[in-house]
Structure 1
């Protein structure tokens, strides 16, 4: 049995530095969001003196190179063919997204153990919808403590700390899903923003004192599996934007729709640039006057910078947060399934008026001020260090 596998608990510290290992994947199916939020956390932890290492499977669309370019050590789990089976978890159950792992969970656990056998961790941080308490329990011998990042609250975990940054989440959502001693950080009070967002925040608000539409941002996710970007550009091509308006499109390097988006952008009646694999997202957001984004953390980042936003729900796990932001008047949420075009045609004429832009910016400011007051002492980083 895997649970009987033991390794010598080597010292994990390099000097006084903690070793933190992330188990997280990106792929054409999974997208890039899990890796990006882990990188944000890693940046904060490294700034506090920790060393971070990433264990990722080499799925098509993985971000191993991008993680390495950010300065982090990476360990690659092998890509497995599509025919690999997915084993049943203990008790005949498995996570709803188990297929995202690419192999059965026992194989993934064995391979991860093999990579970590001489890299005992102070913390193992897992951000993966396809893994649950069965996998986590097997990895206990190679980590002093385990943290899980989740936003589904749909499966059991064997962890010491759980983080769910979703708007409207509370510890009650994980009742019965984590050990009684697990410390739960739930809700947007615990959202981590990269340092560049804090640096540019004041400047971003200052440039919006006179609301006007000169620059429009479109960013529908690093992978954009549903080609929402093209659907948005189709609408914008027929929409009466101000003649001087410039459109900026942000795409991930691994998006299969990249060339199609570039072709469509070249034929728009407005000056349009397509940026790929952007590393200065806060700067790009701060330079725009309105954003059409996928719902999720990107929409909240726009709010942080006071950028009026239309957030399009592209996945089930985005719906709760988008509704919470919409109900607060901070963003306009669009939850229309496959009918993105119809929804945009209906909403844009109202949203792009100067008075509406000003109202949304004020709502962002009020919302984030209240959130800042609550975020001051969340204790998450202190709990890890």
Structure 2
């Protein structure tokens, strides 16, 4: 099976789209699929990480066009969608017998997909927004929202197979291993994990470090993880040194760190589901528009604490939330239970379902 994945990473996009596509690619490769990526060389990209995992990356050129006329997510392509579609088409034409084109990109919609339709047998879209139409055979949206069963009804073709909800979250094998060996969470906070994704352009990490430091708990272990595209590495490293916190860069053992932690502080992106899967209570800051609906739903479920948008949250507000939560063991235990409940039904069999959908055109 020949599979192409079109996705991007950058300072603005972050690394979550690429990382979840890598999880999918790794499992597809284990099932003897030939997987390649198409990525644009945007500022802060992690193409080297994809290549380091052994995958071919067909690189689209750095942006040379003025995209100031574009608004919202359209800017994330680094060029007009028509140009991106034509550049992608040239790559697909150079390949033979593409069985599946997987797209994980907020700037791509039905118009782009339709132009590529004749160059692949099937199309799969990974989306979170439900804000635009898609020309796709398979749709994967892993998010927990109130109307998740119906919100794509008018956005995808009637024949599209929809894989919806946290049961379809793409998790690396290490998370299933960590879950199998997970200790009981008793509501005591001995270790805190701070991680705001691969880029964190507004430096929410430093905000969280200062909030934890105000607790003045000398026996508290703190792990601070920064991603490859984080532009504030040096400042964060100095803060960690000053407070004797563990500074960790682009780790490959996130499941282990989450399993060890008793509480996490982070953004509302892809790692939200990893934390939930391991029952890790979390304090979340909304750092992007697409996270707001999800974080509010999880807060309503009492699986996380919603601190609101990054502009509304400072170190003092975060400190107050930390102090209140650390002293409420029952709430922490309840948050852990509710996190497990949200992820009920998630299993490694997701990849096989996608493969079977491709082979048999049915689940």
TM-score exceeds 0.5: yes
For 1:14-25, list aligned pairs within 5 A.
Answer: 18-25=1-8
The residue number in structure 1 matching 2:306 is 333
Question: Do the aligned partners of 1:312 and 1:334 also contact (CA within 8 Å) in 2?
Answer: yes
The residue number in structure 1 matching 2:278 is 305
Is 1:52 the counterpart of 2:35? The answer is yes
Aligned partners of 1:133 and 1:340: how far apart in 2? 36
How has the CA–CA distance of structure 1 residues 234 and 112 changed in structure 2, closer, same or farther, with 3 Å as cutoff? same
- When Rg is computed on C-alpha atoms for both structures, the one with the higher figure is 1
The residue number in structure 2 matching 1:343 is 317
Does 1 or 2 have the higher relative contact order (CA < 8 Å, sep 6+)?
2
Question: Do the aligned partners of 2:14 and 2:229 also contact (CA within 8 Å) in 1?
Answer: no
Q: Tell me whether 164-173 or 96-105 shows the greater mean CA deviation.
A: 164-173
Is 1:217 the counterpart of 2:193? The answer is yes
The residue number in structure 2 matching 1:107 is 83
Aligned partners of 2:334 and 2:79: how far apart in 1? 49
The alpha carbon displacement at 1:170 in A equals 2.5
**Aligned to 1:333, what secondary structure does the other structure show?**
strand
Question: Do the aligned partners of 2:5 and 2:38 also contact (CA within 8 Å) in 1?
Answer: yes
Q: Deviations over 1:255-294 (max 9, x none)?
A: 11111111222222xx312111111211121121211011
**Aligned to 1:293, what secondary structure does the other structure show?**
strand
The residue number in structure 2 matching 1:266 is 241
The residue number in structure 2 matching 1:285 is 258
2:337 corresponds, among 352, 355, 362, to 362
Which runs of 5 or more structure 1 residues have no equivalent in the other structure? 1-17, 88-94
Count of residues in Structure 1 that have an aligned counterpart in Structure 2: 354
The alpha carbon displacement at 1:247 in A equals 1.0
Which runs of 5 or more structure 2 residues have no equivalent in the other structure? none
Question: Do the aligned partners of 1:53 and 1:73 also contact (CA within 8 Å) in 2?
Answer: yes
For 1:125-204, list aligned pairs within 5 A.
Answer: 125-168=102-145, 169-204=147-182
Q: TM-score, normalised by structure 1?
A: 0.86
Question: Do the aligned partners of 1:216 and 1:246 also contact (CA within 8 Å) in 2?
Answer: yes
The residue number in structure 2 matching 1:3 is none
Q: Deviations over 1:316-375 (max 9, x none)?
A: 11112212222222222221441322431331112112343333223334444x4449x9
For 1:20-35, list aligned pairs within 5 A.
Answer: 20-35=3-18
